[in-house]
A and B are shown apart, each in its own frame.
Chain A
Amino acid sequence: GAVVSQHPSWVICKSGTSVKIECRSLDFQATTMFWYRQFPKQSLMLMATSNEGSKATYEQGVEKDKFLINHASLTLSTLTVTSAHPEDSSFYICSAGGDREEHGYTFGSGTRLTVV
């Protein structure tokens, strides 16, 4: 149990366009999901906490208007990178806790975004 699916796995977009990344919990309901960013050979950096039915909580320094998070249902959270620029190129990963105490947090497979 506790499988998290993330799509797309990689995307290339032109500078100035927007990109949407989806994160789904396949076999459980997730009231909370987390979005991370990771640069090469660096650790995961938490960007925001996505709460079903309410606004996301962003970490300090993360631009809310650039990284739009929508947690519309208990199984889907989306991250939209708006007006993307080359410096937004990175590896984005989502995570969710299972619906049972014995489940740890599982991660999606990640999305590699390249802005050209």
Chain B
Amino acid sequence: QKEVEQDPGPLSVPEGAIVSLNCTYSNSAFQYFMWYRQYSRKGPELLMYTYSSGNKEDGRFTAQVDKSSKYISLFIRDSQPSDSATYLCATFLNRDDKIIFGKGTRLHILP
């Protein structure tokens, strides 16, 4: 079993819809979780960074961590064509440990 599982998609949704992106992880010791957005030929951009369980909101983005089910989610409200990108979930065990990534989900927002 991979440490972080993520559906690669592609996921296509109409503009304005709410997007739900999800990952599961296997190691209950993980406490730090991140979501990145990567456009083609660019480095990943950190969108959300959360510690332990709970929700975190930033503008149109909400990150959710459910440690009991080892499930992490990213919600995008009022999706825009500019949100079309690959979204990667990630985690790490301790500071300066290597990051463990999901495979990334390709998202297409249809105008």
Task: State how many residues of chain B have any CB contact under 8 Å with chain A.
Answer: 21
Is residue A106 within 8 Å, beta carbon to beta carbon, of the partner chain? yes
Nearest CB of chain B from residue A109's CB, rounded to whole Å: 5
Q: Do A44 and B44 have beta carbons less than 8 Å apart? A: yes
| Contacting residue for A97 out of B45, B95, B102, CB 8 A | B95
Given that A97-B96, A108-B43, A110-B43 are known contacts, is A102 also in contact with B104, CB under 8 Å in the complex? no
Q: Which residue numbers of B lie inside 8 Å of A, CB to CB?
A: 32, 34, 36, 41-46, 49, 88, 90, 92, 95-96, 98-99, 101-104
Q: How far is the CB of B45 from chain A (nearest CB, A)?
A: 7
Size of the A side of the interface (Cβ < 8 Å), in residues, is 23
Number of A-B contacts (CB under 8 A): 47
Does A68 interact with chain B (Cβ within 8 Å)? no
Q: Report whether B49 and A109 are in contact in the complex, using a CB–CB cutoff of 8 Å.
A: no
- Bound-state CA distance A109–B96 (Å) is 20
State whether B43 touches A46 (Cβ < 8 A). no
With CB as the reference atom, state the residue of chain A lying closest to B102.
Answer: A43
Known: A109-B42, A112-B41. 15 other contacts (CB 8 A): A31-B96, A43-B101, A43-B102, A43-B103, A49-B98, A91-B41, A97-B96, A102-B49, A103-B49, A105-B90, A107-B45, A107-B46, A109-B43, A110-B42, A110-B43
Task: Tell me the bound Cα distance from A18 to B90 in angstroms.
Answer: 32
Q: Which residues of A contact B103 (CB under 8 A)?
A: 43
Any B CB within 8 A of the CB of A6: yes
Cβ–Cβ contact B34 & A105, under 8 A = yes
CA A97 to CA B88, docked complex, whole Å: 17
